[in-house]
Amino acid sequence: MKSFNHLTAAVCFLTAMIFLAANLYLHTGIQNNTGRMHRVEIARLAGEISRKGDQAVSLSGCQYVQNIACQELTFAPAKSIQQHSAGGLGHTLQEFFAAPDDDYSVRLIQNTLYRFDYIPQTAQARQSLSGVLNLALASVSLLLLCVLFYIRCKIIKPFERIKEVPEELSKGRLAIPLPQQKNRYFGRFVWGIDLLRASIEQQKKRELHLQRTQKTLVLSISHDIKTPLSAIKLYTKVISRHMYENTAQLDEIARSMEEKADEIGEFVNQMIKASGEDFQHLEVAEEPFYLSQLVEKTAAYYKEKLRLLHTQFLLEQIPDCMLQGDFDRSVEVLHNLMENAVKYGDGKTIVLSCCEEEGYVLVTVKNSGNTLPETELVHIFDSFWRGSNAGNSTGSGLGLYICRQLMQRMGGDLFAQVRQGQMCVTAVFRT
């Protein structure tokens, strides 16, 4: 800003100097020129009078000389005029030399005095040309000052307001506000910078959230892994010390160790998935698929598993309709709901039902023996939250959270409620 102010002052000073020089040159040049021009006319007219006489001279073509007066002398020209002033001629000469309104010049031509009255054009011409020149210089100067003022107000000052923004952004201070600009072009520039700042800020928040999410997940899973690891260590001590010689007991220990190893493997898979998954930006496809395909694939997977667990599995009538979304992600959601029903129910009954409602299809997984208080329902979709009914069951608390994120990205939703002592979790699909 200081440099621009210095530039403005220099421009003003230079303009003033140009004004002064132009007027000085104009004054000198016009004065000299006009002085020469009236003398040229007088010399020309004096020559014509000397050759042709004063009766043949016409002033129609003269620009400066306006009148010619003559006074014939009755004395020798060499004598002084003042010597004859006391006589009768003196009064006449006094009238002849009386100063008129305009300037004049006297010439002696053939014993006759001629007075050439001329209008002095010096001041008039100087004033006229000076006015035109000054008007032109003033217009140019005013235009230049307007341009400088526009640059100062629309470019320099806005840049002064945001000159610290790049430095602040480089330091990671993303919350710095940007001044609003009404200027059409610079306003769009500031708007673009603000969008960039907001995008960087959002990306940073996303990364921090993802880091916290993954860190919390790793800590949670690491804690959960300790339980099966302790059991495996205990079994290995029992086997190494030959505490069980019965084959059936050893088979039971081997089966238990295999189950614990599977649990650890599942935890490891969750950690691998969490390391590469952005829970805030889960990707889903957009494609049509039949509701019957989704339900039948889920039912076929769990029928045999629930039979071995002695859990009654009921599948209500499925409407024949088309859904919009990601088929594989939808299967993942229903499998998660079924797993929760198996894990947290009483193991007696699980019901899978479907119904249509205002352009949506509601797929509900219902299990008997609800053990979750209704006051905790508002938290079951929070990340890493585990209810009071979790007990010693394994899990990271991310299952329902991820399922809801998936459903919302497919244009649906996921909600839970308790009805008649039964836990009901419903997935809402678009048709």
Instruction: Please state whether the predicted TM-score (pTM) of the whole model is above 0.75.
Output: no
**Which pLDDT score is estimated for 302?**
83
Q: Which of 124, 143, 170 is the last residue of a domain?
A: 124
Q: What is the pLDDT of residues 208-222, one digit of tens each?
A: 877 777 676 666 666
Segment holding 93, helix H or strand E? helix 88-96
Domain that holds residue 374: 287-430
The answer to the question of residue 150 being in a domain is no
Is residue 336 located within the same domain as residue 225?
Answer: no
Q: Which of 191, 189, 193, 188 is nearest to 165 (CA)?
A: 193
Is residue 44 located within the same domain as residue 94?
Answer: yes
The answer to the question of residue 39 being in a domain is yes
Tokens of 407: 């459903």
Is residue 253 located within the same domain as residue 367?
Answer: no
Q: Which of 227, 249, 276 is the last residue of a domain?
A: 276
The answer to the question of residue 146 being in a domain is no
**Which pLDDT score is estimated for 164?**
66
The answer to the question of residue 167 being in a domain is no
Is residue 255 located within the same domain as residue 295?
Answer: no
**Which pLDDT score is estimated for 220?**
60
Domain count, the chain: 3
Q: Low-confidence residues of the chain, pLDDT below 50?
A: 78-79, 84-88
**Which pLDDT score is estimated for 399?**
76
Is residue 420 located within the same domain as residue 298?
Answer: yes
Look at the alpha carbons of 167, 172, 176, 182 in this order and tell me if their dihedral is positive or negative.
positive
The answer to the question of residue 151 being in a domain is no
Q: What is the pLDDT of residues 121-162, one digit of tens each?
A: 555 555 566 677 777 777 887 888 888 787 777 777 767 666
Is residue 255 located within the same domain as residue 196?
Answer: yes
**Which pLDDT score is estimated for 405?**
84
Is residue 311 located within the same domain as residue 417?
Answer: yes
Q: Which of 99, 124, 149 is the last residue of a domain?
A: 124
**Which pLDDT score is estimated for 363?**
93
